[in-house]
Each structure stands twice: as structure tokens, then as C-alpha cells.
Amino acid sequence: MLKGRAWKPLLLSLLIAAAALYLTFRKTDWGSLLGTLGRIDLLPLLLVLPMLALSYVFRIQRWKILLRPVSGVSFREASAPLLTGFMVNSLLPGRVGEILRALLLSRKTDVPRAASFATVVVARLFDGLVLSAMALLLMGVMWRELDSTVRTGLVAATVLYLLILAVLLTMRRWREGVIRVIVAPFGWIGLRGLADRIGKLFHSFAGGLEALKSGSEVLLVSLLSLGVWACLVASVVPVFLAMGMDFQWYYPPLILVLAGLGMLIPTPAGTGTIHYALGVVFPVITGIGESTAKVMAVVFHATQFLPIIVAGLVAALREGVTAGTVERISGSEDISEISEN
């Protein structure tokens, strides 16, 4: 059970999830939906598992490469923290799992906490850039079919990821100057102690950006990121096979882009928001029946998140992660410790 400050964001996210589920299913033809659900062939859904597993292999290998300039970390050392972090992200809002996996890795290796967290951020940015590239491709293919709100969301997400990447690249080249600009306002208002702590945090954080100095490392990280998302695209195809749905080549990447937009609203595992994006927005874009799309949303969500929750729980047991550990991070009590080695 979560206590103190940790339960408040969880409660808010559950309320958002409940509202999104209500909006998704309020006008559902339940007879048609249950009929569609009953016709699913479960056997093709097993094909989701190897594709998801391979995507996490690529994620772990990518993290190893990003960590290489800081410290040599083995595949085994990186795997349990990463799986645990993704599991926590699937159960709690606020991306608590990203902080947790950075801290878990630092606990078992000599990687400084801030540098570990920096590599997590960089990896997620590469994910965002690949997803943004997919969104731009889809916009080129389906511009007329996309609602103006969807277009705006896709463009805004792409611009945001590019801006963050630009800041990181700037910090990589002009570390001292960028950090001075960041901390200066805190000194001006008399918060010198806080300014010093933030400066230390960013200095340590910048250590995790060292991999971006090597063109070959950036290329390798980019290729692994493409591998991650190619596997995720492939993992969507069995859902269509299981349901016997009409299929176009751009449906799987479109589903991932819409699910990514749904995940921008913090609910556990994107519950409700992903269902709305796929059960309501997807049929408007593609013309697929709404009952079929809603069943597809449920099946897609379950096949994407249940495996990582199970794998992450096993990894968490290995790491000795307790509910108290997660609660402490959820309550922001460990965030201030990231700057400490």
C-alpha cells in the first residue's frame, strides 16, 4: 500500500483512467463487442512475446552502449534494473520507473546516479525521435484522413523531442556555460544552496551524455532504437491476425503513435487513454468498425503490458525492490539524491 504523498498522483491517474474508459465505452454496442471478442484466435497472440522480448534485448544493449563511457556494465547487470523500471512505469504514473532503474543500476555498479539517469533520459529521447519519425511518415501518407487535433499533437510532440535533443547536444559541447545559465536564476534570488545542488546534479548528469560525443556510438544507438521500434511494430501484427481484421501496412505504426500520444496523459500503463486513442480515434482515421477497434484496443493493451509487468516483477524480486522503495521514489524523496555518487 502506498502512503503519504505517493498515493495522491496515483489516485489522480486512476480517476483520469476511469474517465477515459467511460468516454471510450459509454456508447458501446456490447453485443457486437462481445461477439468480436469471442471470435478471437488466441494462438497468433503468442507471436507477440518473441517480438517484445527482442525489443527489450535491444533496449538493454542500447543502455549498455550509452553507459560505456561512464562504466562498463554487463548485459545481466543492466537487464534487471531496466525490466524493473518498465514494470513500475506500467503500474504507476509519473515515470517513476525511470528514476528507479537509474538508482538500481547505481546501487549494484560504480555508475554515478546522475550519469545513470542521464543515459535513461537519452535512451528515451531516441525512442521519442523514432516515434516522431514514424508520426511524420504517417502524416505524409494519411494527411487528409487525420483530424486537425491529431495533426497538432503529432507535430507538437515531434518539436518537443527535437528541442530537448538540441538542449542535450548543447550541454554536451558547452557544459559549463549551459549549467551556469540554468543555475544563475536560483543564485539571483538568494537560493545559493539550491543553485549549488542543481549545478552538481547537472555536472554529474552531463557525464551520462558522453556517448553522444562519438559518431559511431550515436549511429549504433540509433540503429538499436530502430530495432526496438521495428520489433514493437511487428508485435502489433499478431493482434490483427488473431482478430481477422483488415490490414494495411501503416496500421501497426499508427497504433503505436496513437498509443504514444495516449501515454502522454499519466495513467497506469496508459489505461483508458490508450483505449480511447485506439478505440475512438483509430476507427475515425481508418474506417474500421468501432466495436472491432475497441476490442483491438483491449487486446493490444493487454499483450503489450502484461508481459513486461510479469517479467518486471520477477526482476524486482531479484533486485530486492520493495513497495517501500517505490513509495520513497514516488514521493520524490530519492530524486534529490541523484546528484550524489
| Ordered mean pLDDT values, 10 residues apiece, the chain (341 residues) | 54 77 80 79 93 97 90 89 90 77 86 83 85 81 69 72 70 73 77 72 63 76 94 95 87 90 79 88 84 90 93 86 65 49 50
Q: Is 265 exposed, middle or buried (0-12, 13-18, 19+ CB in 10 A)?
A: middle
Q: What is the pLDDT of residue 155?
A: 74
pTM for the structure as a whole: 0.81
Q: What is the pLDDT of residue 335?
A: 46
Contact indicator for 258, 278 with CB cutoff of 8 Å = yes
Q: What is the pLDDT of residue 302?
A: 92
Q: What values do phi and psi take at 206, rounded to 5? A: -65, -25
Cell digits of residue 31: 453485443
Distance CA 158, CA 281 (A): 19
Q: What is the pLDDT of residue 114?
A: 78
Cell digits of residue 51: 517480438
Contact indicator for 203, 30 with CB cutoff of 8 Å = no
Q: What is the pLDDT of residue 223?
A: 94
Q: What is the pLDDT of residue 5?
A: 52
Contacts of residue 156, Cβ cutoff 8 Å, sequence gap at least 6: none
Q: Is 285 exposed, middle or buried (0-12, 13-18, 19+ CB in 10 A)?
A: middle
Q: Is 38 exposed, middle or buried (0-12, 13-18, 19+ CB in 10 A)?
A: exposed
Q: Is 274 exposed, middle or buried (0-12, 13-18, 19+ CB in 10 A)?
A: buried
Contact indicator for 65, 221 with CB cutoff of 8 Å = yes
Contacts of residue 208, Cβ cutoff 8 Å, sequence gap at least 6: 66, 67, 70, 114, 115, 116, 117, 118, 119, 121, 122
